[in-house]
């Protein structure tokens, strides 16, 4: 039975995962490489919960109870107490592989190791461990406390027992589970990122302004946010990384990253997190 969940990475995604896990009643260990990163993540969780209290969606006592469920950590050795570890580090295979190698040694044999990767192969990550049957993808969506979808990705050797446990946890977190097989971009980003990439091609060809392109999808296709604004929210570097995974994984020219997207990333214009991407957020 899963009672304690460790979340590795206290950024936007990791903090959100920690919050929904604590709200679902799990004991949570929020981990990052520096205490300042962990405290920043904890502060965002506190802010999210305070907003819910101010709107009358949560009692102040319930907020305190959720925060009391979260312990902080800067050492992967703390994973020894976890029944489930959810890795939410940056999209870098070498980094993730090193984390999973360490977790495989530190964690108890029955612990499940999950990754929040948005595109990297679960099977390849699982291969660095001696428990590939207990490795699985848990792809949450941003912002985690709001977005209902949980994409659960089976690796080649992921067991039914592991999948069923994670599916149960997803439901307890209030998520809508979608099961997909391990493939570049999985289901969500194989559909979403080519659309975003095409929006950059349309922008680069001068077919319309960024606002006009986004408005086509918002008011013509009923999308809550246009693809270029969504790219800024996701992070243009993340978008480019996923397009590269698709391009390299399928060897198909339709996944070729738009040169304009590449230029934005090379210029350090990564979207909301840097204050400027397609749109300017510094004002």
Find out whether 25 is annotated in a ligand binding site. no
CA distance 136 to 129: 12
Quick check: do 4-181 and 193-273 share a fold? no
Find out whether 185 is annotated in a ligand binding site. no
In sequence order, the 6+-apart residues with CB closer than 8 A to the CB of 93 are: 120, 124, 125
Tokens 């428990």 correspond to what residue?
131
**What digits encode the pLDDT tens for the residues 44-101?**
999 999 999 999 999 999 999 999 999 999 999 999 999 999 999 988 899 999 999 9
Find out whether 1 is annotated in a ligand binding site. no
CA distance 179 to 160: 12
CA distance 207 to 136: 42
Would you tell me how many other CB atoms lie within 10 Å of the CB of residue 117?
24
> Does the pLDDT at position 230 exceed 90?
yes
Domain range summary for the chain, segments of one domain joined by +: 4-181, 193-273
> Does the pLDDT at position 256 exceed 90?
yes
Q: Which helix (H) or strand (E) holds 84?
A: strand 84-87
Find out whether 14 is annotated in a ligand binding site. yes
CA distance 228 to 11: 22
Active site residues: 118, 139, 151, 189
Find out whether 96 is annotated in a ligand binding site. yes
Query: Looking at residues 244-253, what average pLDDT do you find?
Result: 95
Say what the pTM is: 0.90
Find out whether 10 is annotated in a ligand binding site. yes
State the CATH class of domain 193-273. Answer: mainly alpha
**What digits encode the pLDDT tens for the residues 120-132?**
999 999 999 999 9
User: Does domain 4-181 bear CATH number 3.40.50.720?
Assistant: yes
**What digits encode the pLDDT tens for the residues 208-225?**
999 999 999 999 999 999
Average pLDDT of the chain?
96
pLDDT of residue 125: 97
**What digits encode the pLDDT tens for the residues 172-196?**
999 999 999 999 999 999 999 999 9
CA distance 136 to 134: 7
> Does the pLDDT at position 33 exceed 90?
yes
**What digits encode the pLDDT tens for the residues 86-134?**
999 988 899 999 999 999 999 999 999 999 998 899 999 999 999 999 9
pLDDT of residue 91: 87
């Amino acid at each position: 039975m899963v009672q304690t969940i460790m979340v590795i990475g206290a950024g936007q995604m990791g903090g959100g995962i920690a919050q929904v896990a604590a709200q679902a009643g799990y004991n949570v260990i929020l981990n990052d490489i520096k205490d300042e990163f962990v405290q920043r993540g904890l502060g965002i969780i506190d802010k999210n919960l305070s907003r819910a209290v101010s709107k009358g969606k949560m009692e102040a006592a319930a907020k305190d109870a959720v925060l009391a469920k979260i312990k902080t950590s800067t050492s992967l050795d703390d994973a020894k107490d976890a029944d489930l570890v959810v890795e939410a580090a940056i999209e870098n295979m070498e980094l993730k592989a090193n984390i999973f190698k360490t977790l495989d040694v530190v964690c108890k044999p029955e612990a499940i190791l999950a990754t929040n990767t948005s595109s990297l192969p679960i099977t390849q990550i699982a291969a660095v461990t001696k428990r590939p049957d207990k490795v699985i993808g848990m792809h949450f969506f941003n912002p985690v406390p709001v977005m209902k979808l949980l994409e659960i990705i089976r690796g080649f050797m992921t067991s039914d027992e592991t999948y069923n446990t994670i599916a149960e946890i997803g439901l307890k977190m209030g998520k809508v589970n979608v099961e997909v097989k391990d493939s570049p971009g999985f289901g969500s980003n194989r559909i979403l990122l080519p659309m975003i990439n095409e929006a950059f091609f349309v922008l680069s060809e001068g077919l319309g302004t960024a606002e006009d392109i986004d408005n086509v999808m918002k008011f013509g296709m009923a999308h809550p946010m246009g693809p270029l604004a969504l790219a800024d929210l996701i992070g243009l570097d993340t978008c480019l990384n996923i397009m590269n995974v698709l391009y390299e994984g399928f060897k198909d020219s339709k996944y070729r990253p738009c040169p304009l997207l590449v230029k934005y990333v090379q210029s350090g214009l990564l979207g909301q997190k840097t204050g400027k991407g397609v749109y300017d957020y510094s004002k």
